[in-house]
Structures are given as structure tokens and as C-alpha cells.
């Protein structure tokens, strides 16, 4: 059973940049707080149901889709490792670079 969530430094930095983008664009923290809350709720759900996400073409990586966002993660014996929170409206070339 998965007991804790680990964010990779890359996942944390990219998700933070997404939140910062919306703060800057909207001149408000409201949407970013809402998005952060939704992502964290999904991750809590994954703690109880780690195989909820779909297998990807990348070895041992699963993805859970929530609206415009995909959460890429790996399941370890005691950990759920968040590899990336991806805004699907971003350039796909960047996504391929992240997992190579």
C-alpha cells in the first residue's frame, strides 16, 4: 500500500510555474489555489487507488487525467512519485523531453 507522496524536483518546479503563470495572467491567486487544491485531492485519491491512472508508453509511468491536466506518476512499494503535472495546452515537444 502506498503511504506517502513524493514530488520530483522537476514536477514541483513545473507545477509551480503553472500556478505562477495563472497568478500573473489573472492578477489573482484564486484560480491557482483552486487548481492546487484539485490536484492535491486527486493525489490523495491515488494514495488509496494507485492503479486508477492509465498505463503510458513510458516504462512504469501511469497518468491520471483531470480536465486540462495530466498527472504522471510512478508507483513504488511505499511511495507514489509525482513525475509531472502537465497542462495539456502546452507544447508536446517539451513533454517528450521530460521523459527521455
Q: Where are the beta strands (DSSP E) in 1-100?
A: 4-7, 54-55, 62-66, 69-75, 79-87
pTM of the model: 0.88
Phi, psi of 35 (to 5 degrees): -65, -45
CATH ID of 4-98, from 3.30.428.10, 3.40.640.10, 3.30.2310.20, 3.40.50.10490: 3.30.2310.20
Spell out the domain ranges in the chain: 4-98
Cβ atoms of 95 and 14 within 8 Å: the answer is no
pLDDT digit string (tens) for 22-64? Answer: 999 999 999 999 999 999 999 999 999 999 999 998 889 999 9
Tell me the average pLDDT of the chain. 91
Residue of higher predicted confidence among 1 and 66: 66
Amino acid at each position: 500500500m502506498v503511504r506517502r507522496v513524493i514530488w520530483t524536483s522537476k514536477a514541483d518546479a513545473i507545477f509551480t510555474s503553472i500556478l505562477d503563470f495563472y497568478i500573473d495572467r489573472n492578477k489573482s491567486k484564486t484560480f491557482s489555489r483552486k487548481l492546487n487544491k484539485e490536484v492535491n485531492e486527486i493525489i490523495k485519491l491515488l494514495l488509496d487507488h494507485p492503479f486508477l491512472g492509465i498505463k503510458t508508453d513510458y516504462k512504469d509511468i501511469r497518468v491520471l487525467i483531470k480536465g486540462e491536466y495530466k498527472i504522471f506518476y510512478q508507483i513504488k512499494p511505499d511511495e507514489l512519485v509525482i513525475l509531472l503535472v502537465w497542462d495539456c495546452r502546452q507544447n508536446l515537444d517539451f513533454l517528450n523531453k521530460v521523459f527521455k
